[in-house]
């Protein structure tokens, strides 16, 4: 495949991967679950999960992609028995499935930018969410968001995804820092920081059984693992890149944005005395809770536009990574141009997303299926393949570009083979239990 594109720079790859990783998981789930599960104590669990489970699993996906320089299905086919192609297929389908409702949420974000500018939700934040999150309005907004995603992916790796994320990711970081500085002046700032950052060991111990599998699941979701994204993005990377270093930067940046999000969200919520519990974190919570906040702080409209603008950038840069997974597969296999493929797959996504756009109950159903079953299953199979089937070959590929791995090589391999597998099995067990039992 001589005309297959590559990233123009190493930074381009890193920023595209960070763009994928940074999303609603960081801006909402991370601060929220932290607040509801014992504050700083949860952060400790989460960091352990990211470092010992998410990071090694991310490197496993990188190895598959860079070794083969093809899409996820064919990557498995080149390295293993052809039956393993099914694993790549599950990853691609998982990404397609998730993107179908991710677009719907992206549409809500568009509506909230408009609603902030005009003050449309100021009188009744809950009612506004109900109106824009379901029915024909949500379908229309979904279509607009999806069109943006298709447009970027249609332009290709260098001119589309790399150019877009090179602007988007620094914007996210700069705007989040500006927002954090701004909310520091609100009356609820001190209480917000205390809620987010002070450890509550009691909550942590009481809930350890559910926190640990949850922290593992969150580590996979937040790093965009288990949906063939990192396999696909690393398939455009050259042999002289240091994948361990790149992966480390991606993990650190992703965590940084999550922490910044907590520093932005909690001072606002505590300023309006919003009640934060484990059950208020549903799909609408980001929108209703923060919108209530913007209705009652000074410069709320401007604040809202900037905040939901950041959410939009983060959601877009994640959505394009999801679409690229399907497009890469089709592009490698059929002689059809990228714009045509991106558009055709976009139409399929639009149709699959219709139930989620029509009724948030469907969106929750799609999300539960993906989060609790597809993602862990797909991640487990990838890790078993890289750890147990490729084994030392995987270590050799990871070593390329690092100038030697030292102790890290065997530690990575055995972490994959045992720790990561055990961690995923725990999440999968919990998922099966909550979905079916």
Distance in Å, CB of 149 to ligand PHE, minimum: 11
Judged by CB under 6 A, the stretch of 16-24, 67-75, 393-401, 428-436 that binds ligand PHE is 16-24
230 sits near Na ion (criterion: CB under 5 A):
no
What is the DSSP code string of 6-27? --SSHHHHHHHHHHHHSSHIII
- Is residue 265 a contact partner of residue 24, using CB atoms and an 8 Å limit? no
Site string for ligand PHE, 290-319 (x = CB under 6 A): ----------------------------x-
Instruction: Out of 133, 142, 222, 326, name the contact with Na ion by CB under 5 A.
Output: 222
- Residue 318 site contact among ligand PHE, Na ion, none (CB < 5 to 8 Å, cut-off depends on kind): ligand PHE
Site string for ligand PHE, 80-109 (x = CB under 6 A): ------------------x-----------
C-beta of 91 vs 401, nearer to ligand PHE: 91
Task: Evaluate the CA torsion angle 162, 168, 174, 177 in order and state its sign.
Answer: negative
Rounded CA-CA distance 336/330 in Å is: 8
- Residue 288 site contact among Na ion, ligand PHE, none (CB < 5 to 8 Å, cut-off depends on kind): none
What is the DSSP code string of 341-370? HHHHHHHHHHHHHHHHHH-HHHHHHHHHHI
Instruction: Out of 13, 20, 153, 216, name the contact with ligand PHE by CB under 6 A.
Output: 20
Rounded CA-CA distance 110/312 in Å is: 7
C-beta of 103 vs 254, nearer to Na ion: 254
Rounded CA-CA distance 281/357 in Å is: 19
Rounded CA-CA distance 183/13 in Å is: 32
- Residue 281 site contact among Na ion, ligand PHE, none (CB < 5 to 8 Å, cut-off depends on kind): none
Name residues whose C-beta falls within 8 Å of residue 369's C-beta, 6 or more positions apart in sequence.
Answer: 97, 435
Distance in Å, CB of 297 to ligand PHE, minimum: 25
- CA angle 409–412–414, rounded 5-degree value: 110
- Residue 263 site contact among Na ion, ligand PHE, none (CB < 5 to 8 Å, cut-off depends on kind): none
Rounded CA-CA distance 55/327 in Å is: 26
Distance in Å, CB of 321 to ligand PHE, minimum: 5
If binding means CB under 5 A, how many residues of this protein chain bind Na ion?
5
Distance in Å, CB of 254 to Na ion, minimum: 5
Rounded CA-CA distance 146/132 in Å is: 16
23 sits near ligand PHE (criterion: CB under 6 A):
yes
Site string for Na ion, 248-277 (x = CB under 5 A): ------x-----------------------
Query: What 8-state DSSP symbol labels residue 69?
Result: -
- Is residue 353 a contact partner of residue 103, using CB atoms and an 8 Å limit? yes
- Residue 37 site contact among ligand PHE, Na ion, none (CB < 5 to 8 Å, cut-off depends on kind): none
26 sits near ligand PHE (criterion: CB under 6 A):
yes
- Is residue 421 a contact partner of residue 358, using CB atoms and an 8 Å limit? no
36 sits near Na ion (criterion: CB under 5 A):
no
- Residue 98 site contact among ligand PHE, Na ion, none (CB < 5 to 8 Å, cut-off depends on kind): ligand PHE
Q: How many helices (H) and strands (E) does the chain have?
A: 23, 0
Q: Which long-range contacts (CB under 8 A, 24 or more apart) does 285-288 make?
A: 285/28, 285/32, 286/24, 286/27, 286/28, 286/32, 286/311, 287/108, 287/112, 287/125, 287/129, 287/133, 288/125, 288/126, 288/129
C-beta of 258 vs 401, nearer to ligand PHE: 258
Judged by CB under 6 A, the stretch of 17-25, 170-178, 297-305, 407-415 that binds ligand PHE is 17-25
Instruction: Out of 101, 221, 294, 385, name the contact with ligand PHE by CB under 6 A.
Output: 221
Distance in Å, CB of 370 to ligand PHE, minimum: 8
C-beta of 225 vs 270, nearer to ligand PHE: 225
Task: Evaluate the CA torsion angle 33, 34, 38, 44 in order and state its sign.
Answer: positive
21 sits near Na ion (criterion: CB under 5 A):
yes
- Binding positions for Na ion, rule: CB under 5 A: 21, 25-26, 222, 254
- Binding positions for ligand PHE, rule: CB under 6 A: 20-21, 23-26, 98, 221-222, 224, 227, 318, 321-322
């Amino acid at each position: 495949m001589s005309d297959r594109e590559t990233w123009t720079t190493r930074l381009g790859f890193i920023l595209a991967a960070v763009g994928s990783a940074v999303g609603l998981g960081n801006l909402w789930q991370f601060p929220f679950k932290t607040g509801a599960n014992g504050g700083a104590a949860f952060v400790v669990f989460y960091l352990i999960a990211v470092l010992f489970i998410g990071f090694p699993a991310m490197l496993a996906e990188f190895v598959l992609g860079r070794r083969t320089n093809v899409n996820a299905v064919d990557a498995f086919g080149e390295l293993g028995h052809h039956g393993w192609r099914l694993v790549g297929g599950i990853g691609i389908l998982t990404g397609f499935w998730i993107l179908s409702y991710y677009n719907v949420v992206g549409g809500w974000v568009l509506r909230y930018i408009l609603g902030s500018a005009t003050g449309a939700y100021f009188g009744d934040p809950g009612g506004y969410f109900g109106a824009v999150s379901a029915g024909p309005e949500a379908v229309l907004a979904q279509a607009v968001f999806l069109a943006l995603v298709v447009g970027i992916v249609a332009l290709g790796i260098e001119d589309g995804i790399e150019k877009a994320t090179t602007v988007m990711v620094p914007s996210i970081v700069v705007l989040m820092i500006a927002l954090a500085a701004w909310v520091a002046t609100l009356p609820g700032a001190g209480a917000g920081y205390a809620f987010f950052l002070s450890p509550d060991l009691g909550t942590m111990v009481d809930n350890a059984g559910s926190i640990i599998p949850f922290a593992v699941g969150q580590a996979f979701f937040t790093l965009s693992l288990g949906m063939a994204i990192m396999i696909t993005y690393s398939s455009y990377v050259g042999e002289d890149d240091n994948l361990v270093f790149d992966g480390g930067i991606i993990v650190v940046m992703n965590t940084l944005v999550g922490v910044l999000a907590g520093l932005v969200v909690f001072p606002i919520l505590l300023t309006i005395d919003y009640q934060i519990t484990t059950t208020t974190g549903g799909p609408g919570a980001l929108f209703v809770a923060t919108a209530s906040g913007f209705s009652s702080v000074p410069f709320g409209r401007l604040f809202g536009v900037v905040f939901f603008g950041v959410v939009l950038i983060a959601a877009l840069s994640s959505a394009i990574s999801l679409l690229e997974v399907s497009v890469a597969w089709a592009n490698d296999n059929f002689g059809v141009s990228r714009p045509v493929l991106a558009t055709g797959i976009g139409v399929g996504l639009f149709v699959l997303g219709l139930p989620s756009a029509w009724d948030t109950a469907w969106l929750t159903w799609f999300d539960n299926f993906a989060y609790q079953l597809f993602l862990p299953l797909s991640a487990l199979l990838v890790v078993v393949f890289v750890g147990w089937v490729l084994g030392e070959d995987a270590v050799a590929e990871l070593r390329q570009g690092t100038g030697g791995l030292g102790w890290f090589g065997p530690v990575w391999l055995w972490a994959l083979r045992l720790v990561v597998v055990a961690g995923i099995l725990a999440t999968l067990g919990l998922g099966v239990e909550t979905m079916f039992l």
